[in-house]
Amino acid sequence: MAKKSAQESMETPMMKQYQSIKDQYPDAFLFYRIGDFYELFNDDAVKGAQLLELTLTARNHNSADPIPMCGVPHHAVQNYIDILVDHGYKVAICEQMEDPALAKGMVKRQVIQLITPGTRMETGVNGAKENNYLAGFTKQDDHFGFAYADVSTGELRTANLSTFDTVMNEVMSVEAKEVVVDDTVPAELIDQFKPLGILVSHQTEITTGAELSFVTQDLDDGVETAAVSMLLSYMEGTQKRSLSHLQRAIAYEPSYYLKMDHYAKRNLELATNIRTGKKSGTLLWLLDETKTAMGGRLLKQWLDRPLLSLDEIKARQDKVDELLQHYFERSNLQDELVKVYDLERLAGRVAFGSVNGRDLIQLKTSLQQVPKIKYVLEELDQNVFGDMLTGLDPVDDVAELIDRAINDDSPISVTDGGVIKDGYDDQLDEYRDAMKNGKQWIAELEAKERQATGISTLKIGYNRVFGYYIEVTKANLSKLPDDRYERKQTLTNAERFSTPELKEKETLILEAQEKSTALEYQLFTKVREVVKAAIGRLQRLAKALASLDVLQSFAVVSENYRFVRPELNNGHDLEIEDGRHPVVEKVLGKQEYVPNDVRMADDTTVLLITGPNMSGKSTYMRQLALTVVMAQMGCFVPAKSASMPVFDQIFTRIGAADDLISGNSTFMVEMQEANDALMHATANSLILFDEIGRGTATYDGMALAQAIIEYVHDHVHAKTLFSTHYHELTALDESLHALKNIHVGAVEENGQLVFLHQIQPGPADKSYGIHVAKLAGMPDGLLSRASTILQELEANAGETPTPVNVDEPLSEPTPKPASKRKQTATSKQLALFETPTMDPKVADIIKDLKQMNLMGMTPMDVMNKFYDIQQKLQS
């Protein structure tokens, strides 16, 4: 027989069907259902086998050019889908739409769902407290319509944004896994998402219908409506099922909340640890004492968007205060919240039609806790919790229905029976009785036939092909009368028989079983539809319970870590007594942590912070920012007492990191972030600048640092903490009336540097750089040489550079140079490299180094240049 070619194999009816479906989803892995397996073919199989660690086989492997294939069992498919989606891929699920045994010709198949990184419903245990957002934006004139949704919870928000930078910031702030765009978005903007690992999908067709009308009914902005319409069209196109759990779109304005860009959130480690990329060691980690998945997600949302409204902040504070003062009621509340499952995602599964009996039992259990939670709240101050009590609808009609209808130990499958309780439906009870009695009759028949024939091993069995049968081993066939049974099947060691009476009972039992299973599924779907009609009520209840959960979490951490209620005002006075960095304190322990005051009266806008490295300057700055964030979330704060204004924005320039994606150096990133603060900060903002200017030459850096301080002081008036190693800048307090010097104390004891970690008034006397190098473990000889050089430089330093006069224009911010010091320092620095017997090759390299503009080079350029230098030295 001739071998089939690959082309002939591809032209079989099944492969033609496969390819026609695959052509509709070219950017997705197509999981093509064949019997009990999902198969992948061609490129999908080759790549899928590698990613999923599957064995790569072939269809028609005897042909000259076989078709690659691999497969996964249908019952384990979710795990494989999750792996691909986690890697940023899409997965199209292609199901058999008819019973193969009844199909006439090729089995009909179609894609029932396209699962993408932004539309996945199943998040697993580890993702229970995480939202999975899908974002989208469209462009109209100079504005962007932006929207984001969590398909699993139904949350949907939209905004009218004025710049693409704002769009990028929102996408990264909500940690969207996927972004949907239309033809209005230029390719150069789309390209900016690729280095971030965010999947970009395209949606050009807009669908209309009742769901679109529902979710957009509160929107009156055209660009917002366009963004929501595009996003909803994409979700409907990928999910191919009801999205009735989607909530009405909420329009928001980023400026309604305390504004922080994603760089600031990263620098402050609000939700992600910079070093590990995980939650541990962050403010979210510290604050999360929530008992429900819904509460955990809401806590992160509150952390992402602290409030600006003084009234709203105080309302949250009142609730936290009340819970803090009532320990036993709070404990009872926690006991009940622990039993509440994820109502938002349960409602999503109900809408999707993927809910099962166990899910409904979880829903019932959750609803049964609501009356107990209401009782606890009724014991507290009604003036504080009255609004929350009205939102705690127990949805008792749904709970009662589930209690009557659904078995507490329901199986996962809803099509195999065992889901509906006895006594719920009379017809179902009749079928079950017939099944039970029929099986009892068969057991009695088996005993009766054993006695009549004297064959103790005779048994009555069942299989799907032959139904019920009487089985007798061949060794006992001689004991049977010839006309007692009708022969049905011959086996190697036994014969199988039947009787008219057994056939009659078989028909009765199987008919009852088939009808029972079908009726059970019908009854289950009716229960599901009743629950589906209550989705809106369930979602409102979920919001109330989530808010209550976050507030009790605030009360718990406030008690555990000795937080106090801050006094907030609309002025500019800031006074924190014994403030602490909450995360550092938790890691170190309260006995080790040294608290510090932050005092900035209305007439003080800039604190200039000096002190050695590792002394705690950055921690001091971050602790103020975290205190502000916590206060405007409605939480209590780590301090002995705190009074502060409501800030509108926080800007940070802390730490040093190149922007490797765009190729910008540390210094360029530093200047960009500083410029962002200078251009957008207001008198109500908080600015944290950590050693601005250190990334360039000393006098350039000092000039820029002084000019920035002056600009903030004279034009922005924001509360600003500015740390520096340029001690010359401390003289600015003589000319800038709103600037004060403070420093982190350190003392020398027997040649050893001891950090006090205590903020003290005035400037630091020196930087202790060599002492810090000693702590880092540098060689003693090197340290001794550094000390000698330092003494020589200080002895020949001459006059100190004079700070820029504040009356001079900002366009010329360079400090007046002290020529003697500059020349002496330069000559001493050259002496480090030059020797009487210097190799000419080394001299050439030093000459090249002097001419290199390191701060204008990308990290990769610097690495390449130094590789060339290394090659020259080794040649």
C-alpha 195/C-alpha 661 separation (Å) is 6
129 among annotated binding-site residues:
no
The terminus-to-terminus CA distance of the chain in angstroms comes to: 67
Task: Write the burial class of residue 73 (CB in 10 Å: 0-12 exposed, 13-18 middle, 19+ buried).
Answer: exposed
User: What gap in Å lies between CA 380 and CA 322, rounded to an integer?
Assistant: 7
Q: Judge whether 618 is annotated as a binding position.
A: yes
Q: Return the structure tokens found at 15.
A: 């492969």
Tokens of 464: 């799907």
Distance separating alpha carbons of residues 368 and 343, to the nearest angstrom: 12
Is there a binding annotation on residue 371? Answer: no
Is residue 230 a contact partner of residue 180, using CB atoms and an 8 Å limit? yes
Q: Which residues contact 368 (CB under 8 A, 6 or more apart)?
A: 399
Sign of CA dihedral 725, 726, 730, 736: negative
DSSP H helical ranges for 118-261: 164-173, 187-190, 210-215, 222-239
* Alpha-carbon separation of residue 113 from 33, 93, 176, 526, 833 (angstroms): 13, 6, 20, 23, 68
Asked whether residue 614 is marked as a ligand-binding residue, the answer is yes
Amino acid at 827: S
Q: Which two tokens stand for residue 559?
A: 């008690």
Instruction: Give backbone dihedrals phi and psi of 2, rounded to 5 degrees, phi first.
Output: -75, 145
Contact assessment for residue 574 and residue 685, using Cβ atoms and an 8 Å cutoff: no
Question: Which candidate, 671, 678, 675, 713, places its Cα nearest to that of 693?
Answer: 671
Q: Answer whether 472's CB lies under 8 Å from 484's CB.
A: no
> Residues near 606 by Cβ (< 8 Å), separated by ≥ 6?
709, 712, 713, 720, 721, 722, 736, 738, 739, 740
Token duo for residue 512: 């009852």
Under DSSP, is residue 634 helix (H, G, I), strand (E, B) or coil? coil
The answer to whether the beta carbons of residues 99 and 47 sit under 8 Å apart is: no
Burial profile 490-529: b = 16 or more Cβ within 10 angstroms, e = fewer = eeeebbbbbbeebeebbeebbebbebbbebbbebbeebbe
Tell whether residue 617 is among the known ligand binding residues.
Answer: yes
Written as six digits, the tokens of 451 are: 């006695």
Please give the biggest Cα pair distance in the chain.
127
Q: Residues at the annotated binding site? A: 611-618
Q: Residues at the annotated binding site for ATP? A: 611-618
